[in-house]
Amino acid sequence: MSETLRQSCRTQLAVGSTTYTYYSLAKLAETYPALARLPYSLKVLLENLLRNQDGASVTAADIEALAGWADGGKSGEIAFRPSRVLMQDFTGVPAVVDLAAMRDAMAKIGGNPEKINPLSPVDLVIDHSVMVDHAGGADSATKNVALEFQRNQERYEFLRWGAGAFDNFRVVPPGTGICHQVNLEYLAQTVWTREENGEVVAYPDSVVGTDSHTTMVNGLAVLGWGVGGIEAEAAMLGQPISMLVPDVIGFRLDGSLPEGATATDLVLMIVEALRSAAWSENSLNSSAPALINCRLLTGRQLPIWPPNMAPHAAFSRLMMRH
């Protein structure tokens, strides 16, 4: 009974030679028609609940309540499992130390230490250790990175060991870029896949990160926000994030930016409008068709401001064209 909704919404899609399994909100909407009026950000959360329904952390009642949110707008507690975890080196090093300690403990009791691995995919981006000693020269960046390696050799060797020792754990080396830029340009997939019981399961990309500007990835329709190190490590170990269903405010933009106006001007205008409305601690659903006239640069700057005024995330549909 506990998996009735999950199983009834299980659907397959053939693309070329690969068949993908996914959990269809369209099928769920046949039973709960109010689902069609859900904000896009909450649809991502709903799919997450549907896919992870286990009768314990996620029940049929949880799914039903969120599916009917548009009728009542009640904010209950849910268990959210992000597709992946993003860390930077300051918070990532303690996480790897904890994993190594757990392997030592497993070995001491006669178990197999190789069984200790992150259960959710983790990307650690080394970007918080760089210092600017050289500037203004063509080789300044190369010199700064060389000094960074000298100063942090022991830590970097440890992280390199972790990248090879643990499954589901990748390290992006120094000098590649800042955390949320790497997340946006290299790590985000929009649709994530994994093998499960011999099937390839497809589901929306979502992420929690220990960099406060993890929210920038929402510009690619990847739901993500910043969390503390303890929350991130718990997610890394497969524990769901307990959270209230966030309130949602829609912000519709029409037309295009006038000549001389920048993405920063647009962001500040939105922030001013929301602050005057006293909105905070909310998940902002930005489903603005007007973004079709904005470059990706503009579209990705809109979601970066939530850390400065408290909403979880500014989520945008992929409606932009260059």
Q: How distant, in Å, are the alpha carbons of 77, 118, 147, 262, 300 from that of 74? A: 10, 34, 53, 37, 30
- Its pTM stands at 0.85
Q: What is the pLDDT of residue 286?
A: 52
Q: Do domains 84-190+207-238 and 248-316 have the same CATH topology?
A: no
Q: Taking a C-beta distance cutoff of 8 angstroms, is the pair 241, 208 a contact?
A: yes
Q: What is the pLDDT of residue 131?
A: 85
Binned average pLDDT, 10 residues per bin, the chain of 322 residues: 78 95 96 91 94 93 93 82 93 92 96 95 88 91 90 92 95 87 91 93 95 82 88 93 84 78 80 70 47 43 51 54 38
Domain 84-190+207-238 CATH class label: alpha beta
Residue extents of the structural domains in the chain = 4-80, 84-190+207-238, 248-316
Q: What is the pLDDT of residue 285?
A: 53
138 DSSP 8-state letter = T
CA 94 to chain centre: 21
Q: What is the pLDDT of residue 266?
A: 80
Q: What is the pLDDT of residue 127?
A: 84
Q: Taking a C-beta distance cutoff of 8 angstroms, is the pair 87, 233 a contact?
A: no
Q: What is the pLDDT of residue 3?
A: 55
Q: What is the pLDDT of residue 195?
A: 93
- Surface-to-core class of residue 89, CB atoms within 10 Å of its CB (0-12 exposed, 13-18 middle, 19+ buried): buried
CATH architecture for residues 248-316: 3-Layer(aba) Sandwich (3.40)
Total residue length of the chain = 322
The C-alpha atoms of residue 126 and residue 120 are separated, in whole angstroms, by 19
SS3 of 173-207? CCCCCCHHHHHHHHHCCCEEEEEECCEEEEEECEE
- Beta-carbon contacts of residue 32 (< 8 Å; ≥ 6 apart): 64, 67, 68
Asked whether the CA dihedral 220, 221, 227, 233 is positive or negative, the reply is: negative
Q: What is the pLDDT of residue 186?
A: 92
